[in-house]
Amino acid sequence: MNLKKIVLILVCAFLLVGCTNKKVDNNEDQTQQDKIEYGLSPYQHYEIGDYEQRCNDLVEKANQGTFDKELYQALYDEALMVDELSATAYIKYCENVNDKTLTDENSYMDDMCKKVANLLATAAHKVTESEVSEEFKTYINNDISYQSYVDYKEKSQEELDLLSEENRLVQEYNTISTSRNKYTCVVNGKTYDYDFLSSEDANYLFEEDYDAYYAGYMECVKAFNNDCGNIYLQLVQIRDKIAKLNGYDSYAEYADKNTYRREYDIKELDSLKSLMKEYGGYIYYYSYSFDRDIDLKVTEEELLKNTKDIMHQITEDVGNHFDLFLDKHIYSIDKSDDRYNGSYMTTLSTKKAGYIFINLNEDYSDYFTLAHEFGHLYNSFYGINPNPIVTNGIYDLMEIHSSGLELLFGEKASELFGDDYEYICSNNILEMLYSITMACIYDDWQRYVYENPNSTLDEINDKFEEIANEYNFYLSKYFWMFTPHNFDSPMYYMSYGVSFYTALQIWYEAVQDFDKGAKIWEALAQSNGYEKSYLDTISDVGLSPFTDEKYGREVIETALVYIDDVYAYYYD
């Protein structure tokens, strides 16, 4: 997703609910939208009006032997606009998740987006079944887009209501996760909140009386777990119903096929999971041993300037597109406790590129975050979605674009990071290995949860700890609740694992020959993730799938040797 404080010409204070209930499909407003090729257009509240009737008219005419090109195009253009308005509403919500007006408008537009998309896709599906189907197919002139209409299954009102409730619960989790200071406890006669106890400011408590500190800290953790956990249990029930409505036995199966378009047999992931169980202990050890303080504070201005310099060292095309990113200001980068606790790139359906949102840490990690999200944005210049209303990309590919650029960035950042360069870059590679392992853990855990949707909170807490231990990751049973993806992007995390594994291959090549590694990444990032599968795409650029255990072992061991050498230098 994405956001920014200077979002081009966004209406001041978002003007959301206070603006007139004016549709955005009139000629004057559309002309204004068309003038803006990048970034956010001015936001206006949307009313659906007679959209459903016009969709019915399209179908009726098709059944009478007439394909109304102008009507279809008008419906499609409006659906794209609604999709983009929904993305914009989400961006503004993420800039302040505690603002009720923004929260309500985000919910409203999310519902409108799903409703409009369902109406158009259902009507288009019926046109594909009519006698004008060939004329319709010729007009669309894209096999993927047309086939998506052919395959579309109309969403019932029950499913739309479930999706709306799902979004509401995710928003509730976001509010709780940014308000942890409401959880308090008493330690040695004084009251402390969860945020304080989780910070370095509480070190003196830890050192003075560990038992009292730990008891208070766990009291807050359990209260947080109770609130987040009950939201999660409701989400599991809702998603189970959505899966059943669509003919799947579990939500995990539904997400694999319907959301993430994973074309491989899920059992094929076992080879990668086996590899990560074998090396998990080493990864976990180093992850909790690399604790050197890096005194490198980063402002937004420094972040953008220094990243620009390095992007131009990676490839000429990457540097040029980063210049465009800065010039068109297609980002929301800021630091606030009220902002969504994460970073993302989101697509804007009527624009030539996506949009980046980052909540700053104000340290060196922001460089890697920006490189990661810009990798997504770079692909958005090339990977054009043939039909954003009904077509998803291949998520296992999308995270290679981001993580691959992140690793290439590190290889060129020696001057930026100075004496801390080796430590920072090895730590970034370590975090990549850590994330692959966590992806395997979360995938196993979520499959258990969604295949056992009536599990209790205690059962899913215990199961998480049990599965983590299988990978030699000795994590708290409550660890899972701090990862937003488990709430807002169910079953997504395995795409990090598959993609990061592939990105490490790009790093492996770049270490030996940077230009070769950069060209492999560039070719992959310029490919269209809507046209080819994950396996075909990585094969086209000479990379190996996650099923190639021998090559995977070589890459992982090379990374671990590098990490071990750096660790020895700094700590031995």
8 A C-beta contact, residue 305 and residue 326:
no
Give 359's strand partners: 334
Q: What is the end-to-end Cα distance of the chain in Å, rounded?
A: 42
CATH architecture of 266-295+393-571: Orthogonal Bundle (1.10)
Distance between CA 430 and CA 365 in Å, rounded?
13
> Would you call 18 helix, strand, or coil by DSSP?
coil
Q: In this structure, what token pair is assigned to residue 350?
A: 């009527």
Give 346's strand partners: 355
Polymer length in residues for the chain: 572
Q: In this structure, what token pair is assigned to residue 373?
A: 């999200």
Distance between CA 36 and CA 20 in Å, rounded?
22
pLDDT score of 206: 85
> What is the location of CATH 1.10.1370.30 in the chain?
266-295+393-571
pLDDT score of 4: 28
8 A C-beta contact, residue 54 and residue 145:
no
pLDDT score of 571: 74
CB crowding 218-241: b at 16 or more within 10 Å, else e: ebbbebbbebbbebbbebbebbbb
Q: Is 502 exposed, middle or buried (0-12, 13-18, 19+ CB in 10 A)?
A: buried
Rg (CA), the chain: 24
pLDDT score of 288: 86
| φ and ψ at residue 343, rounded to 5 degrees | -140, 155
> Would you call 527 helix, strand, or coil by DSSP?
coil
**Token pair 């308090």 in the structure block, residue:** 184
Tens digit of pLDDT per residue, the chain (572 long)? 332 222 222 223 222 222 323 333 334 443 443 456 899 999 999 999 999 999 999 999 999 999 999 999 999 999 999 999 999 999 999 999 999 999 999 999 999 999 999 999 999 999 999 999 999 999 999 998 999 999 999 999 999 999 999 999 999 999 998 888 899 999 999 999 998 998 888 889 988 999 999 999 999 999 999 999 999 999 999 999 999 999 999 999 999 998 888 888 899 999 999 999 999 999 999 998 877 778 888 999 999 999 999 999 999 999 999 999 999 999 999 999 899 988 999 999 999 899 999 999 999 999 999 999 999 999 999 987 888 988 888 889 989 999 999 999 999 999 999 999 999 999 999 999 999 999 999 999 999 999 999 999 999 999 999 999 999 999 999 999 999 999 999 999 999 999 999 999 999 999 999 999 999 999 999 988 788 888 899 999 999 988 888 888 999 999 999 999 998 887 76
> Would you call 167 helix, strand, or coil by DSSP?
helix
Q: In this structure, what token pair is assigned to residue 182?
A: 């409401």
Reduced DSSP (H G I as helix, E B as strand, rest coil) percent helix, strand, coil of the chain, to 5? 65, 5, 30
DSSP-derived letter for residue 105 is H
User: Which residue pairs, CB below 8 angstroms and at least 24 apart, start in 145-148?
Assistant: 145/386, 145/387, 145/390, 145/391, 148/121, 148/387, 148/390, 148/391
DSSP secondary structure letters along 113-131: HHHHHHHHHHHHHHHHTST
- CA 465, distance to chain mean position in Å, is 24
115, 205, 103: which is closest to 154 by C-alpha?
A: 115
pLDDT score of 14: 26
Q: Is 174 exposed, middle or buried (0-12, 13-18, 19+ CB in 10 A)?
A: buried
Q: Which residues contact 329 (CB under 8 A, 6 or more apart)?
A: 4, 6, 7, 8, 39
Q: In this structure, what token pair is assigned to residue 65?
A: 């032997």
State the virtual CA torsion across 484, 401, 86, 136 in degrees, nearest 10.
-130
